[in-house]
Structures are given as structure tokens and as C-alpha cells.
């Protein structure tokens, strides 16, 4: 696998609201290489989208704050943890150059991601002329090429978003995201709003383009099927933490964290018949009041004596397969042997 | 009589500026007591319109809807009002189907109030609490408002409302599409438990084939307002015959690395349901389409074992 293009290290993001602090992302680390796809799965409110927005430098202000951690794009840090307005503005300026050019994002709802009063072609050309010194005619030409690439006739350059169907709009969004050949592409639930047959088309398209441009792809989804389809590695996010991380073979053939298992068991399957779906009671802990111990403990059906009232670190189950559960603590592991953060940093 | 619902040649057309929109076009099916009929299809295929038409929330253009042997399209309003409590609906988005200014108890009590089921408010309150227990809503939520609850609990209010008048038939219009998988499993289990306890019949509308496989006894696959394949659930998944159903099944991302199926990627998208020509509506996207498919519309034909398919070349394609 090639070098790491994007590296997220011990990222902690909080939303500071009038009602208190919501700990949206707690110590997330992962990395993506060129041409690699990493999937993040989890329920609504697990913090998946916050991770994406932080990488893009689009955290809502003034509530969102990166408390600590690093996001390295080609080895260069792109997040600002300082609260100095000067530093933040500096970072914003830098991000504006990177966004669309080096990192791009595909949003969930293509209708609200596109400008309804601008022809779609112009929206693609806009990105191209913003980041490249090209003439208007050249930008238009390249925009038309992008449209053909995503399977939309260039004759529709002057059409408005409402004249396209959902799947076509998502293709336009993909064209915009890929127009400047970014090194990193973040796709936040790109097919959730689409029908399955259209979803299959869009996933096929994304997979093809990813290989063609050798883009690092971060796929955020709640659909384990989509992960199995196009990802190389997968992280399961729960209450802002990575509870399990590994290659898709690790996750799908040997799901180990009780939460990951619960996710698989709750899915109605096409292959086997089950009388009753297994579900776990309760809800994800409120990010405003996270428990001091394992955040999944309350709903866990595999609680045991090993579960101490302390947040578990990630344990390496097999090379490259990490699980945040005391169940998998090596026998020589002791509580005193370091906090979660230190353990991870040393891995 | 084993059918609670018998729908025959149901049509719902909408006049639009450029012609007639065929939302539901000649749909017939039966639903037995205590069973679940799944209606699957992509967005825009008319499955929600079908659900609403069956309950006469929308009046059909033509056709028969026999509920317990009575054609509800021809009976007068008074008679229909008396029947209405027996047929209820659960909607897709619990946020927009609930009144944001009503507390949980008011929402659940509303149908009971309208039908003046109870004379005094103590009985009404008791019934509301009973219903909350049935659907697994803790009693402490009785005075909360929808925005204070999560999606799963909101959907439970929707279920409680539908159950309030002891219906026999519930039309579930994408009841779990807006929910996370763990919550989805909870609601599906709840619906199944209620069916067993009360012998309810469900018409379950969804785009999710794995959900429909889990919950239904029979399945209708719809495409552009028409039913193109209809049979028992097991039969459909073991012996998928229509090229569209085959493509639909193959397009579902399977959350497993084993037994991956080969994917059939369909070209294009749903064609317009406005002024459809008399051809097979799936023909423009079909891998096997021939001349005949563009000149005449295939009828649903029984190919044995109560398996009905609307395709001219079903036997050839599947080598039957």
C-alpha cells in the first residue's frame, strides 16, 4: 500500500453550546493511503459527519472546536486547535485553497448541495477556475469533460439542478468534487438518498474514478453493505470513538466488538432466514453526558468482570485489527500500563 | 373467507399539464388475515400512492377495494367512517406525521377522542398508558413532545396511534426507512409481536428488500405503477423471474464478504409515468428487451405456484 495521504491522529472535537459541551469526536485516529478506501460506519449521531467536517475545515462556528489532535494531509497538519482568531483566520485561508483542490467532499443530499439557480456546468467550471489559472473557455471545456466522465452528456451543461433526477444530481456533485483531481475525497453518505439500482450505478462510478485518479477515499455511511462493496478498511464509530478498526476482512469475517456484532445481527439478511431480529436495548449515550467508563457498557450484552470503570483503549486483536473492549485485553495488560491515548499513540 | 383485503384493477391517475400521470395502473392483489403483504419498488413507482389509495386517503380513479368483502370505493361516507377505525396507517417520517405541538398522550388520545370511544377522561388516560406499554414507550414520556424524543420513540408513537382503535389492517408506509439499523430491528420486532398477539394484517410498503423479505408472507414488486412480479416471499427470493426484480436484488449491497452475487447494473432511470405508451414499462432499461417489448404491454401471468410475472419472455430468460 502506498504512503499515507491523509492521517487523522487522536482527534478530539467538541461542540460548545449553551446547554453544555457535546463531546462529538473522542480520540479518533486512522489513515488513508492513495487509492485506498476507508469506511466509517455508525449510527446517527455517532460523530461520523463531524469527522468529515473537521477534515474539510467546515466545523460550524462558533460551537465547533477541535480540542486536540492532528490531521495530516501529505504530512502537513491542516487543523488549528488554537482559539486565537488570527490563527483561525490564517487556517481558514489555507483551507480555502485546499478545499476542492486537494480535499473534496460529496454530500448526502445532492439537492441541497447544488446551487439551484446556477446551471450545473457552471458549478463544475467554478471549481476549476477557482483553483487553476485557466481561461473561461478552458474551464468550460474541462467541466464538460468531467460531465462526460460521470456519465452525463455535455449537452446538458446549461441545465439547472431541478432538471436532473437524484442519481444524476449526485453524479454532478461527484463531478464537482473530482474536477480538480483531489488527493482525498470524503463521501458523506453519498448514496443514502438514492434508490438501490441508482446506488449501484453511483458506487460503480465512484469506484472506477477512484482507481483512475488514485484518490484516497473516506466513505462515511451507515450501510454495512456499501462498506463491503467498496472499502478496503473500515472503522466502526460509536459515541465519537472508534470501537473497532481493521480491514474489511477483519470486520466482516471476525466482528469482535459487541457493538459491531449487534450491528450485524440487527440487519435483516437476504441469505438466511431469521424468525426475529436481534436488537439491543437503549440508545447511544448522550454526547453531552458521556459515561467515564466504556461508552457502550450500558447496552452491552457481553459485560464481564474485565470491564473496569475506565474508558477502554484500543487493543490489537490481530495485526491491524483493533477493538476497544476489555474483553480483548492481553493477559499481561494492566490498568496502570497507560491511558487510552498513550496506548494508541504508541501503536 | 380468508382475505381481509381484495384489490382488483385499482387505478389512480392524476391529471397533469402534459397529460395523465399513471401513479397506480391496474393493480390487483389479495391480503389474508394475519399476514403481511410487502410492496417493494423504487421511489416514484407508486407504492405510497397505492397504500394511501387502499385506505381511501386518496380516492381511486377506478377499481375495487374489498375490505372484508365490502367494496369501500362505493360505500357512502357514513358507512366508511364506521369502517375507518379498522384500517390504519403508519407513516414514514415520524417527525412530520406527528403534530409538534401535541404531547405524546394527546397524540395517542387523538383518534380515541375523534371516535368518542370513552365517555370519561380517566378511561381515556388509562387506555393511552396501556397503548404506551404495548409499544414499549416508558410512561415517563407521557407529557413529552415529539422533538424531545429520538426517531425510534417517535415511530413508536406512530404505531401506538395506529393501534389506538384496534384496527384489523395497518398500512405501513416505509415505517423504518428513517431509522438506524438497531432501532429498525426494534420496530420490526414490535410490529411482528403485535401481529402475533392481535392477528393484525399488514400492508408493508418499503424500498428495502431485505426488510420486506424478513417481514412479509407475500411480495408485490412494483415498477412505474404496475405490479411486475407477485408471489410468496420464499418463492420470490428462490426463484426470481422478472429481469427488474433480478436487477433490484443484485443491486443490494450485501453486508458480507461471502457469497457475493454478481451485480446487474441497470442503465438509466425510471422513465416518466406521464402518458405511458402501451409497452413494457421496464423495456428501456431491460437487458433482454426485444421489439415485442416496445409494442405491447405484458400482462401478469401465472407461471405456476401462484407466481405471477409480467414479462413477455419470462420463460425464455429463465429457461423454464
Q: Which residue has the cell 497507560?
A: A338
What is the predicted pLDDT for the residue at A341? Answer: 46
Q: Are A240 and A47 in contact (CB under 8 A)?
A: yes
Q: Residues in chain B whose beta carbon is closer than 8 A to a beta carbon of chain A?
A: 42-43, 150-152, 180-186, 188-189, 192, 207, 209-211, 213-215, 237, 247-257, 259, 263, 265-266, 269-270
Q: Write the Ramachandran bin of A20: left for phi over 0, alpha for psi from -120 to 50, otherwise beta.
A: left
Cβ-defined contact of B251 to A268 (cutoff 8 Å): no
**Which one of A270, A271, A282, A284 would you mutate to disrupt binding with B, by most B Cβ within 10 Å of its Cβ?**
A270
Residue A346 has pLDDT above 50, yes or no: no
Same domain, A83 and A189: yes
* From B151, B188, B247, residue closest to A197, measured CB to CB: B247
What is the predicted pLDDT for the residue at B9? Answer: 95
Count of A-B CB contacts under 8 Å: 111
Cβ-defined contact of A196 to B248 (cutoff 8 Å): yes
Give the cell for residue A346: 504508541
Cβ-defined contact of A252 to B186 (cutoff 8 Å): no
Distance from CA of A219 to the nearest CA of B (A): 14
**Residues linked to residue B226 through DSSP beta bridges, in sequence order:** B223
Average pLDDT on A171-177 reads 93
Number of domains in chain A: 2
Q: What is d(CA A83, CA B78) in angstroms, rounded to the nearest whole number? A: 68
Distance from CA of A227 to the nearest CA of B (A): 7
Residue A2 has pLDDT above 80, yes or no: no
A340 confidence band (pLDDT: 50, 70, 90): very low
Q: What percent of chain A has pLDDT over 90?
A: 55
What is the predicted pLDDT for the residue at B26? Answer: 92
Chain B residue numbers with beta carbons less than 8 Å from the beta carbon of A203 are 253
Chain B residue numbers with beta carbons less than 8 Å from the beta carbon of A278 are 185
DSSP secondary structure letters along A18-40: TTEEEEEEEEEEEEEETT-EEEE
A195 confidence band (pLDDT: 50, 70, 90): confident
Cβ-defined contact of A263 to B181 (cutoff 8 Å): yes
Which of A186, A214, A231 represents a domain boundary (last residue)? Answer: A231
Cβ-defined contact of B213 to A270 (cutoff 8 Å): yes
Answer yes or no: is A257 within a domain. Answer: no
Predicted complex: ipTM over 0.85: no
φ, ψ for residue A67, nearest 5 deg:
-75, -50
What is the predicted pLDDT for the residue at B1? Answer: 55
A1 confidence band (pLDDT: 50, 70, 90): very low
* From A204, A222, A227, residue closest to B265, measured CB to CB: A204
Range of the domain at B285: 3-318
Chain B residue numbers with beta carbons less than 8 Å from the beta carbon of A198 are 42, 269
pLDDT digits (tens, 9 = 90+) for A222-263: 899 999 989 999 999 999 999 999 999 999 999 999 999 999
Same domain, A190 and A318: no
More confident residue, B173 or A347: B173
CA distances from A324 to A254, A295, B64 (A): 14, 10, 58
Distance from CA of A77 to the nearest CA of B (A): 34
Same domain, A11 and A101: yes
**Which one of A19, A39, A190, A195 would you mutate to disrupt binding with B, by most B Cβ within 10 Å of its Cβ?**
A195
What is the predicted pLDDT for the residue at B276? Answer: 86
Chain B residue numbers with beta carbons less than 8 Å from the beta carbon of A277 are 185, 188-189, 214
DSSP 8-state code for residue B206: E
**Which one of A223, A254, A277, A282 would you mutate to disrupt binding with B, by most B Cβ within 10 Å of its Cβ?**
A277
Residue A305 has pLDDT above 90, yes or no: no
Instruction: Going residue by residue through chain B, which has 320 residues, state the pLDDT in tens, using 9 for 90 and above.
Output: 589 999 999 999 999 998 899 999 999 999 999 999 999 998 888 899 999 999 999 999 999 999 999 999 999 989 999 999 999 999 988 888 899 999 999 999 999 999 999 989 999 999 999 999 999 888 999 999 999 888 888 999 999 999 999 999 999 999 988 888 888 999 999 999 999 999 999 999 998 888 999 999 999 999 999 999 999 999 999 999 999 999 998 888 888 888 777 788 888 777 888 888 888 999 988 989 888 899 899 999 998 888 999 999 988 888 87
Number of domains in chain B: 1
What is the predicted pLDDT for the residue at A281? Answer: 82
DSSP secondary structure letters along B211-248: HHHHH-SEEEEEETTEEEEEEEHHHHHHS--SHHHHHH
Q: Are A56 and A78 in contact (CB under 8 A)?
A: no
Q: Which residue has the cell 428462490?
A: B238
Residue A333 has pLDDT above 80, yes or no: no
Same domain, A141 and A223: yes
Answer yes or no: is A247 within a domain. Answer: no
Residues contacting residue A294 through CB under 8 Å, at least 6 positions apart:
A300, A307, A311, A312, A324, A325, A326
**Which one of B46, B256, B259, B273 would you mutate to disrupt binding with A, by most A Cβ within 10 Å of its Cβ?**
B256
Cβ-defined contact of B269 to A277 (cutoff 8 Å): no
* From B185, B253, B269, residue closest to A277, measured CB to CB: B185
Same domain, A140 and A276: no
Same domain, A147 and A20: yes
* From A200, A270, A279, residue closest to B210, measured CB to CB: A270
Reference B220, options B185, B244, B196; nearest CA is: B244
Range of the domain at A311: 262-346
Cβ-defined contact of B253 to A198 (cutoff 8 Å): no
Chain B residue numbers with beta carbons less than 8 Å from the beta carbon of A197 are 42, 247-248, 251, 265-266
Same domain, A202 and A284: no
Which of A212, A231, A250 represents a domain boundary (last residue)? Answer: A231
What's the CATH number where A190 sits?
3.40.50.300
Chain A residue numbers with beta carbons less than 8 Å from the beta carbon of B151 are 44
**By CB neighbour count within 10 A (0-12 exposed, 13-18 middle, 19+ buried), where does B100 fall?**
exposed
What is the predicted pLDDT for the residue at A345? Answer: 45
Which of A210, A231, A252 represents a domain boundary (last residue)? Answer: A231
What is the predicted pLDDT for the residue at A289? Answer: 86
Residues contacting residue B277 through CB under 8 Å, at least 6 positions apart:
none
Residue A193 has pLDDT above 50, yes or no: yes
By CA distance, what is A195's nearest residue in B? B42
pLDDT digits (tens, 9 = 90+) for A201-219: 889 998 998 899 999 999 9
Chain A residue numbers with beta carbons less than 8 Å from the beta carbon of B265 are 197, 200-201, 204
Distance from CA of A143 to the nearest CA of B (A): 22
- Other CB atoms within a 10 A radius of the CB of residue A208 amount to 12
Distance from CA of A43 to the nearest CA of B (A): 6
Same domain, A152 and A285: no
Answer yes or no: is A254 within a domain. Answer: no
Strands A241-247 and A315-318 come out as unpaired
Q: Are B236 and B38 in contact (CB under 8 A)?
A: no
The radius of gyration of chain B from alpha carbons, rounded to an integer in Å, stands at: 21
What's the CATH number where B148 sits?
3.40.50.300
Amino acid at each position: 500500500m502506498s504512503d499515507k495521504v491523509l492521517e487523522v491522529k487522536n482527534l478530539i472535537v467538541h461542540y460548545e453550546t449553551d446547554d453544555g459541551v457535546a463531546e462529538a469526536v473522542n480520540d479518533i485516529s486512522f489513515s488513508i493511503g492513495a487509492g485506498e478506501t476507508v469506511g466509517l460506519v455508525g449510527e446517527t449521531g455517532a460523530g461520523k459527519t463531524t469527522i468529515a467536517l473537521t477534515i474539510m475545515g467546515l466545523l460550524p462556528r462558533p460551537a465547533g472546536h477541535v480540542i486536540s489532535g492532528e490531521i495530516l494531509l501529505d504530512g502537513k497538519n491542516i487543523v488549528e486547535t488554537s482559539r486565537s482568531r488570527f490563527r483561525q483566520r490564517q487556517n481558514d485561508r489555507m483551507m480555502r485553497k485546499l478545499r476542492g483542490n486537494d480535499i473534496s467532499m460529496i454530500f448526502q443530499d445532492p439537492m441541497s448541495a447544488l446551487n439551484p439557480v446556477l446551471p450545473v456546468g457552471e458549478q463544475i467550471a467554478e471549481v476549476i477556475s477557482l483553483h487553476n489559472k485557466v481561461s473561461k473557455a478552458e474551464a468550460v471545456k474541462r467541466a464538460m469533460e468531467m460531465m462526460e466522465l460521470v456519465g452525463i452528456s455535455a449537452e446538458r451543461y446549461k441545465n439547472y439542478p431541478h432538471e436532473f433526477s437524484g442519481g444524476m444530481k449526485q453524479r454532478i456533485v461527484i463531478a464537482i468534487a473530482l474536477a480538480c483531481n483531489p488527493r482525498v475525497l470524503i463521501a458523506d453518505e453519498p448514496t443514502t438518498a438514492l434508490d438501490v439500482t441508482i446506488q449501484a450505478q453511483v458506487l460503480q462510478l465512484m469506484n472506477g474514478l477512484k482507481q483512475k485518479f488514485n484518490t484516497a477515499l473516506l466513505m462515511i455511511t451507515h450501510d454495512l453493505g456499501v462498506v463491503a462493496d467498496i472499502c478496503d478498511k473500515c472503522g466502526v464509530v460509536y459515541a465519537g470513538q472508534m470501537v473497532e478498526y481493521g480491514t474489511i476482512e477483519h470486520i466482516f469475517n471476525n466482528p469482535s466488538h459487541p457493538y459491531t456484532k449487534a450491528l450485524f445481527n440487527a440487519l435483516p439478511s437476504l441469505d438466511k432466514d431469521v424468525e426475529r431480529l436481534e436488537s439491543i436495548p437503549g440508545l447511544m449515550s448522550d454526547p453531552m453526558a458521556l459515561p467515564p467508563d466504556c461508552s457502550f457498557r450500558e447496552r452491552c450484552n457481553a459485560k464481564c468482570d474485565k470491564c473496569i470503570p475506565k474508558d477502554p483503549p484500543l487493543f490489537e486483536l490481530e495485526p491491524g485489527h483493533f477493538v476497544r473492549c476489555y474483553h480483548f485485553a492481553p493477559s499481561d495488560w494492566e490498568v496502570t500500563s497507560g491511558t487510552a491515548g498513550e496506548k494508541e499513540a504508541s501503536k | 373467507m380468508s382475505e381481509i383485503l381484495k384489490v382488483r384493477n385499482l387505478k389512480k391517475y392524476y391529471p397533469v399539464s402534459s397529460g395523465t400521470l399513471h401513479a397506480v395502473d391496474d393493480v390487483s392483489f389479495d391480503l389474508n388475515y394475519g399476514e403481511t403483504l410487502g410492496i417493494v419498488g423504487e421511489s416514484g413507482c407508486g407504492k405510497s400512492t397505492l397504500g394511501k389509495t387502499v385506505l381511501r386517503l386518496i380516492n381511486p380513479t377506478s377499481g375495487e377495494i374489498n375490505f372484508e368483502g365490502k367494496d369501500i370505493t362505493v360505500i357512502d361516507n357514513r358507512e366508511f367512517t364506521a369502517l375507518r377505525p379498522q384500517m390504519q396507517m403508519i407513516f414514514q417520517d415520524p417527525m412530520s406525521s406527528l403534530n409538534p405541538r401535541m404531547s405524546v398522550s394527546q397524540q395517542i388520545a387523538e383518534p380515541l377522542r375523534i371516535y368518542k370511544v370513552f365517555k370519561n377522561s380517566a378511561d381515556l388516560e388509562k387506555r393511552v398508558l396501556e397503548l404506551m406499554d404495548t409499544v414499549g414507550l416508558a410512561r415517563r414520556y407521557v407529557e413529552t413532545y415529539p422533538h424531545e424524543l429520538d426517531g425510534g420513540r417517535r415511530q413508536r408513537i406512530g404505531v401506538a396511534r395506529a393501534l389506538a382503535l384496534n384496527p384489523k389492517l395497518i398500512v405501513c408506509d416505509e415505517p423504518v426507512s428513517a431509522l438506524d439499523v438497531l432501532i429498525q430491528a426494534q420496530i420490526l420486532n414490535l410490529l411482528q409481536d403485535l401481529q402475533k398477539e392481535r392477528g393484525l394484517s399488514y400492508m408493508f410498503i418499503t424500498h428495502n428488500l431485505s426488510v420486506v423479505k424478513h417481514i412479509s408472507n407475500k411480495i408485490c414488486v412494483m415498477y412505474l405503477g404496475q405490479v411486475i412480479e407477485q408471489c410468496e416471499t420464499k418463492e420470490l427470493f428462490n426463484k426470481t423471474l422478472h429481469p427488474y426484480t433480478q436487477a433490484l436484488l443484485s443491486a443490494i449491497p450485501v453486508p458480507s464478504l461471502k457469497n457475493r452475487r454478481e451485480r446487474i447494473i441497470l442503465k438509466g432511470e425510471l422513465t416518466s409515468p406521464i402518458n405511458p405508451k402501451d409497452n413494457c414499462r421496464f423495456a428501456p432499461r431491460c437487458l433482454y428487451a426485444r421489439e415485442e417489448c416496445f409494442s405491447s404491454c405484458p400482462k401478469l401471468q401465472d407461471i405456476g405456484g401462484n407466481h405471477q410475472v409480467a414479462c413477455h419472455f419470462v420463460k425464455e430468460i429463465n429457461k423454464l
